[in-house]
Amino acid sequence: METGTSQREDHQQEAAARRRKELLEAADRVVLRDGPEASMNAIAAEAGITKPILYRHFGDKGGLYRALAVRHTDALLASLRNALDAPAPDRRGRVAATLDTYLAAIEARPQVYRFLMHPADQGQQQEQEQGFDVGHHSAPLLRRMGDELAKVIADRVELGPGGEEVARIWGHGIVGMMHAAGDWWLRERPCSRERLVHHLTDLLWGRLALVDDRIGAPGLF
């Protein structure tokens, strides 16, 4: 009897997981089409269900947002790890490849990026009134990326005494730089992705310490 009950529960959990995946794929299609304007009504229609059923699976738009964020962050982190582990002629090349992987990801799916990081301007007040604030939910994504990058740095770079603290600072600092620079670049497109990667790699590689300021002081700061 217990075995039969356990099997039914396993089957129900598997069916629920499949259904959840199908709904997230439907949400992805709407986000790719509508970006930050993607609505629960549109996602429910795409999935062929009513909005109450969508709420039953995710609770509210915040729950759906978090599920999509985990889905896309997992994929991005896997790509970043692959870039860090890929053969490269030198460490600088590996840093450049990692930066390029992040920027290529947001360039390839800008609507997904905007949905995750920027609320729709016309719908921002309404969503906040409904208890959904993108800024509140997006901050944990950046913290998670910073934590993951810190682990990679600690594992792959010998930093000596106090290395764990340094790795955490570097991890979160690099993610902050990538996010801010990538956000600006995606909006304004002031240069090619290759040029942006080159200049950011220069910055991380210590070029700032080698540049004299205009009045001849020994450094920029």
Identify residue 10 by its one-letter amino acid code: D
Residue 135 has pLDDT above 60, yes or no: no
Read off the pLDDT of residues 40-69 as tens digits, 9 standing for 90 and up: 999 999 999 999 998 888 888 888 888 888
What is the fold, at CATH topology level, of the domain defined by 1-59? Arc Repressor Mutant, subunit A (1.10.10)
Terminal Cα distance for the chain, rounded: 73
Residue 29 or residue 86, greater confidence: 29
Architecture of domain 62-209: Orthogonal Bundle (1.10)
Read off the pLDDT of residues 167-217 as tens digits, 9 standing for 90 and up: 999 999 999 999 999 999 999 999 999 999 999 999 998 865 665 554 444
Read off the pLDDT of residues 72-126 as tens digits, 9 standing for 90 and up: 888 888 898 888 887 777 888 888 999 999 999 999 999 999 888 886 544 444 4
Residue 107: the pLDDT is 96
User: Residues of CATH 1.10.10 domain(s) within the chain?
Assistant: 1-59
pTM of model > 0.85: no
User: Residues of CATH 1.10.357 domain(s) within the chain?
Assistant: 62-209
**Cα(196)–Cα(203) distance, integer angstroms:** 11
Residue 129 has pLDDT above 70, yes or no: no
Look at the chain and count its residues: 221
Over 85-115, what HEC string results? HCCCCCHHHHHHHHHHHHHHHHHHCHHHHHH
